[in-house]
Amino acid sequence: MERHFNRVTRIIIAGTLAIIIWIVGVIIGQEQTVTILNPEGGLGGLISRSRTAQVSLMLDYGTGEIKVYPEIKLSYGSSVLDLLDRINNLESEFNLNYTLEDNIELTSFTISDYPNILDGKNWLVWIDNGLQVDDYNLIKLKSGDNIELKYIKLKE
């Protein structure tokens, strides 16, 4: 009986240790995945609860002039308009002007003296190579997004 008890005890202890090691491995693996996908994440981000998104922006003025902003940090859940406001605060020559009616509809939108709907030209936004049709304040960004704003003439 004592030999059987020792054998069962060893099996239970070994099984328990295996489960604990597996759980710790899963937790460490998830932590490493979060850190690899978003360096702002990781344990520090979990402790401080500060959620940020890092995006890149390319502005194509349609004249051959292109400006790139490779690493802009925003708070989680920010919109394209929040991104443009952030760049406008960082660079005075960016010169962003717009009117937000009823906190929903974006009108009279201008970047660096390039207004929307001038001779049929518009600012259009692509996120990760997909054209977006919503107003800039309604397009939410996530970490790693590549945003392109292009000033182009639409075909009629």
> How far is it, in rounded angstroms, from Cα 12 to Cα 15?
5
> Same domain for 76 and 28?
no
Query: Could you tell me the residue range of the domain that residue 11 belongs to?
Result: 2-48
Sheet holding 96-101, edge to edge: 96-101, 105-111, 114-115
> Same domain for 130 and 111?
yes
CA 61 from chain centre, in angstroms, equals 23
> Same domain for 62 and 40?
no
> Same domain for 142 and 66?
yes
- Total domain count, the chain: 2
Residue scoring higher pLDDT (6 or 12): 12
7 pLDDT exceeds 90? no
pLDDT tens digits, residue range 80-115? 999 999 999 988 888 888 888 877 777 788 888 888
What pLDDT is attached to residue 49? 55
> Same domain for 7 and 38?
yes
Q: CA angle, corner 134, sides to 51 and 140, nearest 5? A: 5
pLDDT tens digits, residue range 9-39? 888 999 999 999 888 887 777 665 655 555 5
What pLDDT is attached to residue 123? 87
